[in-house]
Structure 1
């Protein structure tokens, strides 16, 4: 899966915002994708009209035959991407918990375990309990990363554009 296809689930999962879409389009052009809407989107400012940017993004995906996933699939991809990132040490456990703001569906036992531990993680955890909770979340992330067929295209890249 390439960056443009990854952007589709990130867009549906609401971790990719309108201001990021022109750069996504620019990266897609560099990666060899091309369409009229993609070129137009790549030329827009980050501060452009959000509705216009979103419309061009969806149009570009359509022109390139890249389909937006349903919310459930996007949520699962978000969950797995966060687990992979945490397993690689890229976001903090608090960042993982904070980024699970949308409704995420878990289908496997490993997804359910990771989601359950992440959902229980809170800034109100006492200092004595924090190391154990972080260890449990790391363990669940590693287990999920090792068991899933939804592996991200590259390293942790939730929340938009990677260079």
Structure 2
């Protein structure tokens, strides 16, 4: 799996903390990727200026020929990634709701259903309603993972 290609949609979807980018760059160098901006980014401390980290990350992707997806594609990748995580037991339903960005747009019926069900959760959800919500979310996750038209290699690790 190409960590940098996978990180591009996460970066745009704001699912990748800025302070993780220097370590990501270091791993990419260890994986055999190389560019001037990637080396510079890998040498920065985690607590460096966020604007500098972001600028170097974007420049490194450009130097390596890795495009940043548009916001809609990045959001769709986030939805599919969350659905896969839930469907494969890597995430709980609450994890999905917590990691969901309300700026995500859905294009397909399955994405819309998953987003709608996930967004229905709140900290005030009545405990008696949780099993039904979790079941609905798992069903929507399985439907989305089966129907997605996104290249899975770029979405799922």
Compute the TM-score of the two structures, normalised by the length of structure 1: 0.90
The structure where helix makes up a greater share of residues is 2
Q: Secondary structure at 1:153's aligned position in 2?
A: helix
Change (3 A) 1:102 1:127: closer
Q: Secondary structure at 1:48's aligned position in 2?
A: coil
| 2:72 matched residue in structure 1 | 72
How many correspondences in the alignment? 157
Relative contact order (C-alpha < 8 Å, sep 6+): which is higher? 1
Give the deviation of 1:149 after TM superposition.
Answer: 2.5
Q: Hey, what's the Cα distance between the residues in 1 that align with 2:100 and 2:58? A: 24
Alignment partner of 1:83 is 2:90: no
| 2:138 matched residue in structure 1 | 138
**Superposition map of 1:43-54 within 5 A:** 43-54=43-54
Alpha-carbon RMSD across the aligned residues, in angstroms, is: 1.7
Residues 19-45 of structure 1: CA distance to partner in whole angstroms, max 9, x if unpaired?
Answer: 010011012112221101101111111
Q: Hey, what's the Cα distance between the residues in 1 that align with 2:41 and 2:156? A: 25
| 1:27 matched residue in structure 2 | 27
Instruction: Give 4+ residue runs of structure 1 displaced > 4 Å after superposition.
Output: 154-157
Q: Hey, what's the Cα distance between the residues in 2 that align with 1:104 and 1:80? A: 11
Contiguous gaps of at least 5 residues in structure 1: 158-163
Residues 45-91 of structure 1: CA distance to partner in whole angstroms, max 9, x if unpaired?
Answer: 10111111111111100100111111111100001100000101111
CA contact 2:5–2:154 (8 Å) conserved in 1: no
Contiguous gaps of at least 5 residues in structure 2: none
